[in-house]
Chains A and B, each alone.
Chain A
Amino acid sequence: MNNSLYFRIAKTNLKKNSKTYLPYILACISAIIMFYTMDCIVLNEGLDKIRGAGSLKMILKFAVKVIGLFSIVFLFYTNSFLIKRRKKEIGLYNVLGMEKKHIAKVLFIETVIVAVTSLVLGILGGIIVGKLMFLILINLMKLDITISSSFSLSLPAIIQTVELFIVIFVATLIVNLLQVKLISPIELLKGGQKGEKEPKTSWILAIFGVIELAVGYGLAINIDSPLKAITTFFIAVILVIAGTYSTFTAGSIAFLKILKKNKKFFYKTKNFVSVSGMIYRMKQNAIGLANICILSTAVLLTISTTVALYAGQESSLKITYPLDVTISIGNIAAKEKDRVANMIKEEATKSGVTLKSQVEFDDKQLITLQNKNSFKIANKENISVMSDIKSIHLYTLEAYNKMEGKVVTLKDNEVLIFSVGKEFNYDSIVINDKKFKVKDKLNNIKIANKNKNNLTDEYRIIVKDMSTLKNTYEGKNANELVNATDSIAFDIDGNKEDTIQFCDSLKSHINAMKNSSFQSIYTDREDFYIFNGGFIFIGCFLGLLFTMGTVLIIYYKQISEGYDDSERFKIMQKVGMSKKEVKNTINKQILIVFFLPLAVAVIHIAVAFNVVSKLLSLFGLFSTSTLILAIAGTVVIFAVLYAVVYRLTAKTYYKIVQKEN
C-alpha cells in the first residue's frame, strides 16, 4: 500500500467520525488558543513595568500551568472516549487483512492531521484573540500604559505552545497504539457490547454520602468568623466533595430503586423507561456526573467571587476608608505633631489640592481577648486562635468631641462605645479589670464605618480623659501588642493626577519617620485594581476553560449513550412506542443528566454562600448584595450556555437513535 492510500483512509475516517472528532478538534483549538494567549501575557515584558507586577505574574504563571495541566487531562480523556468508539472499526480493518502496523500508520496520519489542523488554527486564533484578551486585562486593571503594541506575536509563546501540544498528541497516539496492539481483532470487533447487570444498591455508601453532605453543609452554614472560615471551609469542602461522589454513585441508585419499588409510580408511561434507563445510566455515569457537578461548582464560584471582588471593591474601599487618607505616628512628641501637620499643609498647597474634614485623634489600640463583657490584653501566651482576638481602640472624650463637634460629658466610670462588627450587648464593660458603665452606644463616628463582615470584632471606646485612658491600658505592663498612636485623617479635593502626586510625595515623607504609617484610598485603589483585575481576568479565563471541559464531557457522554441506547429504542418502537414518546423520553433523560449536576452545584453554592462571603471579607469584599448579584448573574449565564448545549446534545442523540433504526 502506498502512502496516499493511508492518507485517504485517515481522511475518510475523520470525516466519518466527524460527530465525535469535530468537537475534539474544536476543543484542541480552544485549549491551544487559551494556552497561547495566557503564555503570551506571562512572557510579555511590558507587564514588568507596572506596580505589583510580581504577584500578578505569579498568578498568571499559575494560570498557565493550570491551563496546560487541564489540557493534558482533558485531551487524554476525550481521546480515550474517541478510541473506544472506534474499536469496532479498527477491528474490522484488522479482520479485513490490515496488519496492526498498517493500522498504526493510519492512526499516525490521523493524529498528524488533527494536530496540524488544531495547532495552525489554534495559534492563528490565539494571535487574534490574544491581543483582545490583553487589552481586556489592561482595561480591567485600569492601567493606562501602551504596552499592548509589543503584544501581538510572541515566538517563545508559539514555541512553548507547539511543544506542549505536540507532546500531548504524541502521548495520545501512543496510548491508542497500545490499545490496538494489546487487543485481539475479535475483541476489537465486539467493542463494548456486553450484557450488564443491574447495579446493586450500596446503602452504606448512600447513607455515608448523605451524612458527609449534611456535616459539610452544617459546617459551612455555622461559620461565623472569617478567620475561622479558612480552616473550617477546607474541611467542609472536602466533606462536600466526598459527599457528592458518594451520593451520586450510591444515593442516586438507592433513590431510583425506591422509585422503582413504588409500583404506582414506576409503571407509568412517562416514568417506566426513564427510571429503569437512569439506573443503568447512573451506574456508568455517576462518577462523571459528580465530576461535572464539582467542576461546575468550581467554575461558578471562581467566576462569581472574582467578579464580586472586582465589582465590590469601590464599596469596600469606602468602608475601609471613612476618610481618604489616614496618617498615624506612634510615640510622637507634641512638637513633632505640629511639624507633620504643617508638612501636610505645605504638600497640599504644592500639589494644588485642598484638604477637608480633617480630624486629629489619639488612638490607643488594645489587642484583647473577650469573655462576656470583660476584655483582657492578649499576649503571646494566651492567644491560641487568631479568631478569638478582639480589637479595642481607646479615645479621649476631648478628641471625640472635637472630631464630631459635640459637647458630650462623661463621668469617670462612663464610656461611649461604637461597634464596628458585632454589636456590644452589655450595659457595662470591663477592660483590664477596670469596670465602666456604657453610657451610650454610638451609631456612627467619623473615623470608622460599620462593617458586619469585619475580620475581627472591633470596638471603638471613648473614655473621659487621657489619664483614664492611660490607666486603662497601662493597668497591665504594656507589652509589644499595645501601641499608642496619634493620627490625622482627612479627605482630599482635587483632580486625579494632583491627588496621586500629593499622596505619593506625602507618603515618602511619612514613611521616613519612625513608627509611622500612611494609608490612602488612592494607593489602595490602584493596588486593588491590579490585584482584582488580575483575579477577575484569570477567574473568567479559567472559568471559560472549565466550562468548555464540562460541556464537552457531558456532550461525549450523551453521544456515547446514544449509540448504546439506540438498540433499546429500536426495540421499544417495535413494541409500540411512538416516535414522539421516544423523543420525550430522550429529552427527559438528557434533561436529568444535564441539569442534575447543575442543580446540585447551585445548592452547593447556596450553602457555601455564608463561608464564601466571610472568606471574601479577608480579601476586602464586604458587600453581600454584590456577591449575591455576581453569583446569580454567573449562574444564569452558565445555565443559558448549558441549555444551548443541552438542546444540541438532545438533537444529536435523537438523530443517532433514529438513524440506527
Chain B
Amino acid sequence: MVLVEVKNLKKIYSTRFGGNKVQALDDVSFSVEAGEYIAIMGESGSGKTTLLNILASLDKPTSGEVLLEGKNIVNIKESEISAFRRNHLGYVFQDFNLLDTFSLKDNIFLPLVLSGKDYKEMDSRLQPIVNKLGIKDILEKYPYEVSGGEKQRAAITRAIITNPKLVLADEPTGSLDSKSAGEILKLFSAINKSGQTIVMVTHSTIAASHASRVLFIKDGKLFNQIYRGAMSNDEMYQKILSTLTLLTTRGGENE
C-alpha cells in the first residue's frame, strides 16, 4: 500500500526583494510504501532537509503535492496543521528538542497532552514501549541529567507514542558518539520491523545502511535510489559508498 506519494515537488527560496533565487528542490517525485524504512542522502545544501520539512508540513513547497494516504497535506489549513502534525507524524531531531523544564516522561507525553488525552490513556500507551526503548529507569529524570543517546531514545518515544503513520527523522545520529548512534539505529530497525514507516535524512553511510531503501538527492533533484532487497547491512553499506562516490565524481564532471 502506498502511504506517501510525493509528486513534482518544487521549492524555490528567494531573498526578500526577489533578488537571488535558490532552487532547493527541483521536480522531486517518489512514493513511500507503508512499512518502508527510507533513508535520504545527499550533501549539505542538496535539499534533503527541505524535503523532510515539507513532508513534516513544517514548510510549504512552491509547487507540487504530498499525499498522505491520498490526502494532500500541502493544502491543510494553517489552523489545522498543528493538530495534523501531532496526530499523523512523529519527528525525531538531530538536537533532540527536548524541553528542559519537563522530565523525560512529560516530554514524551507532550504531544498527547496537546491532543487532550487523559493521563490513564497516556500511561497505558507509554508502558508497552518503555521497555523496548530502554528508558524505563530514566523516565523521571530531566534532559540535562541524561546522556545524548538516552535523550534521543526519549525523543523517539515521543515521536512514536502518538502511533503516527509516518516517523520523520532528521540526522537522528548526528549529535551522538558512534556507540550510541549504533544503538539508536538498531532501535529504528526494531521499530520499523514492528510496522512503523520511517523516513530518515542522513549524512551517515552507516545510518543509511540500515534502511530498506536509500534515495540520493543532488542539487534538489532525485539522483538515484538503492533497494536493499536481500542485502545485509554490510553489503548495503558498500553499495551506498560506491553510489556516493559516483555522486561526487559525477558532480565533479558537471562543474
Identify the A interface with B (CB < 8 A): 195-198, 263-264, 267-269, 272, 276-277, 279-280, 568, 571-581
Cβ-based interface call for B118 (8 A): yes
Known: A269-B114, A568-B99. A576 touches B82 (CB 8 A): yes
Q: Do B81 and A267 have beta carbons less than 8 Å apart?
A: no
A572–B118 CA distance with the chains assembled, in angstroms: 19
Q: How far is the CB of A76 from chain B (nearest CB, A)?
A: 30
Q: Do A272 and B116 have beta carbons less than 8 Å apart?
A: no
A277–B102 CA distance with the chains assembled, in angstroms: 9
Q: Do B101 and A272 have beta carbons less than 8 Å apart?
A: no
Cβ-based interface call for B237 (8 A): no
Known: A263-B119, A576-B82, A576-B86. A581 touches B101 (CB 8 A): no
Give the contacting residue for A572; candidates B78, B91, B99, B122; CB below 8 A: B99
Q: Do A280 and B101 have beta carbons less than 8 Å apart?
A: yes
Q: Do A267 and B113 have beta carbons less than 8 Å apart?
A: yes
Further 17 A-B residue pairs, CB within 8 A, beyond A195-B143, A568-B100, A575-B91: A195-B100, A196-B100, A198-B142, A267-B122, A276-B102, A568-B99, A571-B98, A572-B114, A573-B82, A574-B97, A575-B86, A575-B97, A576-B82, A576-B85, A576-B111, A579-B82, A581-B114
Identify the B interface with A (CB < 8 A): 58, 78-79, 81-83, 85-87, 91, 93, 97-102, 106, 109-111, 113-119, 122, 142-144, 158
Q: Do A575 and B110 have beta carbons less than 8 Å apart?
A: yes
Q: Do B82 and A581 have beta carbons less than 8 Å apart?
A: yes
CB nearest neighbor in A for B103: A198
A197–B100 CA distance with the chains assembled, in angstroms: 9
Chain B residues with CB under 8 Å of A269's CB are 113-116
8 A-B pairs closest in CB distance? A576-B86, A195-B144, A578-B82, A571-B97, A263-B119, A272-B113, A267-B119, A576-B85
Chain B residues with CB under 8 Å of A568's CB are 99-101
Q: Do B58 and A574 have beta carbons less than 8 Å apart?
A: yes
Q: Do A577 and B114 have beta carbons less than 8 Å apart?
A: yes
Known: A267-B109, A267-B122, A581-B114. A571 touches B82 (CB 8 A): no
Chain A residues with CB under 8 Å of B115's CB are 269, 576
Q: How far is the CB of A565 from chain B (nearest CB, A)?
A: 9
Give the contacting residue for A578; candidates B79, B93, B101; CB below 8 A: B79
Give the contacting residue for B110; candidates A195, A272, A279; CB below 8 A: A272
Residue of B91, B100, B109, B158 most packed against chain A (CB within 10 A): B100
Chain B residues with CB under 8 Å of A571's CB are 97-99
Q: How far is the CB of B7 from chain A (nearest CB, A)?
A: 25
Chain A residues with CB under 8 Å of B117's CB are 267
CB nearest neighbor in A for B58: A574
Chain A residues with CB under 8 Å of B158's CB are 575
Residue of A568, A573, A574, A576 most packed against chain B (CB within 10 A): A576
- Does more than half of chain A's interface fall in helix, strand or loop, or is it mixed? helix
Q: Do A276 and B97 have beta carbons less than 8 Å apart?
A: no
A433–B178 CA distance with the chains assembled, in angstroms: 102
CB nearest neighbor in B for A194: B144
What are 10 A-B pairs with beta-carbon distances under 8 A?
A: A195-B144, A197-B142, A264-B118, A264-B119, A267-B109, A272-B106, A568-B99, A571-B97, A576-B111, A577-B82
CB nearest neighbor in A for B142: A198
Q: Do A578 and B119 have beta carbons less than 8 Å apart?
A: no
Chain B residues with CB under 8 Å of A577's CB are 82, 114
Chain B residues with CB under 8 Å of A277's CB are 101
Q: How far is the CB of B163 from chain A (nearest CB, A)?
A: 14
Chain B residues with CB under 8 Å of A573's CB are 82
Give the contacting residue for A576; candidates B101, B106, B114, B142; CB below 8 A: B114
A93–B178 CA distance with the chains assembled, in angstroms: 36
A90–B91 CA distance with the chains assembled, in angstroms: 36
A58–B98 CA distance with the chains assembled, in angstroms: 60
Chain B residues with CB under 8 Å of A581's CB are 82, 114
Chain A residues with CB under 8 Å of B79's CB are 578, 580
Chain A residues with CB under 8 Å of B97's CB are 571, 574-575
A576–B106 CA distance with the chains assembled, in angstroms: 15
Residue of A267, A268, A577, A580 most packed against chain B (CB within 10 A): A267
A573–B114 CA distance with the chains assembled, in angstroms: 11
Q: Do A575 and B83 have beta carbons less than 8 Å apart?
A: no
Q: How far is the CB of A297 from chain B (nearest CB, A)?
A: 30
Known: A197-B142, A198-B142, A267-B122. A575 touches B114 (CB 8 A): yes
CB nearest neighbor in A for B112: A267
A174–B87 CA distance with the chains assembled, in angstroms: 55
A582–B79 CA distance with the chains assembled, in angstroms: 12
Chain A residues with CB under 8 Å of B86's CB are 575-576
Chain B residues with CB under 8 Å of A574's CB are 58, 91, 93, 97
A277–B110 CA distance with the chains assembled, in angstroms: 13
CB nearest neighbor in A for B143: A195
A280–B115 CA distance with the chains assembled, in angstroms: 24
A198–B142 CA distance with the chains assembled, in angstroms: 9
Q: Do B110 and A276 have beta carbons less than 8 Å apart?
A: no
A574–B99 CA distance with the chains assembled, in angstroms: 12
Chain B residues with CB under 8 Å of A579's CB are 78, 82
A576–B87 CA distance with the chains assembled, in angstroms: 8
Q: Do A276 and B82 have beta carbons less than 8 Å apart?
A: no
Residue of B111, B113, B117 most packed against chain A (CB within 10 A): B113
Q: How far is the CB of B234 from chain A (nearest CB, A)?
A: 35
CB nearest neighbor in A for B100: A195
Q: How far is the CB of A15 from chain B (nearest CB, A)?
A: 19
A198–B111 CA distance with the chains assembled, in angstroms: 22
A572–B100 CA distance with the chains assembled, in angstroms: 12
Chain B residues with CB under 8 Å of A267's CB are 109, 113, 117-119, 122
A64–B6 CA distance with the chains assembled, in angstroms: 72
CB nearest neighbor in B for A260: B106
CB nearest neighbor in B for A276: B101
Residue of A264, A574, A579 most packed against chain B (CB within 10 A): A574
Chain A residues with CB under 8 Å of B142's CB are 195, 197-198
Chain A residues with CB under 8 Å of B111's CB are 575-576
Chain B residues with CB under 8 Å of A196's CB are 100, 144
CB nearest neighbor in B for A576: B86
CB nearest neighbor in A for B162: A576
Chain B residues with CB under 8 Å of A575's CB are 86, 91, 97, 110-111, 114, 158
Q: How far is the CB of A276 from chain B (nearest CB, A)?
A: 5
Q: How far is the CB of A45 from chain B (nearest CB, A)?
A: 61
A578–B81 CA distance with the chains assembled, in angstroms: 8
Q: How far is the CB of B196 from chain A (nearest CB, A)?
A: 18
A345–B118 CA distance with the chains assembled, in angstroms: 90
Chain B residues with CB under 8 Å of A198's CB are 101, 142
A572–B114 CA distance with the chains assembled, in angstroms: 10
CB nearest neighbor in A for B84: A576
Q: Do B119 and A276 have beta carbons less than 8 Å apart?
A: no
Chain A residues with CB under 8 Å of B102's CB are 276
Chain B residues with CB under 8 Å of A576's CB are 82-83, 85-87, 111, 114-115
A581–B100 CA distance with the chains assembled, in angstroms: 19
A269–B116 CA distance with the chains assembled, in angstroms: 6
Q: How far is the CB of A474 from chain B (nearest CB, A)?
A: 80
Q: How far is the CB of A400 from chain B (nearest CB, A)?
A: 77
Q: Do A268 and B113 have beta carbons less than 8 Å apart?
A: yes
Q: Do B101 and A279 have beta carbons less than 8 Å apart?
A: yes
A277–B144 CA distance with the chains assembled, in angstroms: 16
A580–B80 CA distance with the chains assembled, in angstroms: 11
A197–B143 CA distance with the chains assembled, in angstroms: 10
CB nearest neighbor in B for A195: B144
CB nearest neighbor in A for B91: A574
A449–B23 CA distance with the chains assembled, in angstroms: 91
Q: How far is the CB of A338 from chain B (nearest CB, A)?
A: 88
A196–B113 CA distance with the chains assembled, in angstroms: 23
Q: How far is the CB of B22 from chain A (nearest CB, A)?
A: 21
A258–B100 CA distance with the chains assembled, in angstroms: 20
A263–B86 CA distance with the chains assembled, in angstroms: 22
CB nearest neighbor in A for B95: A571
Q: Do B106 and A276 have beta carbons less than 8 Å apart?
A: yes
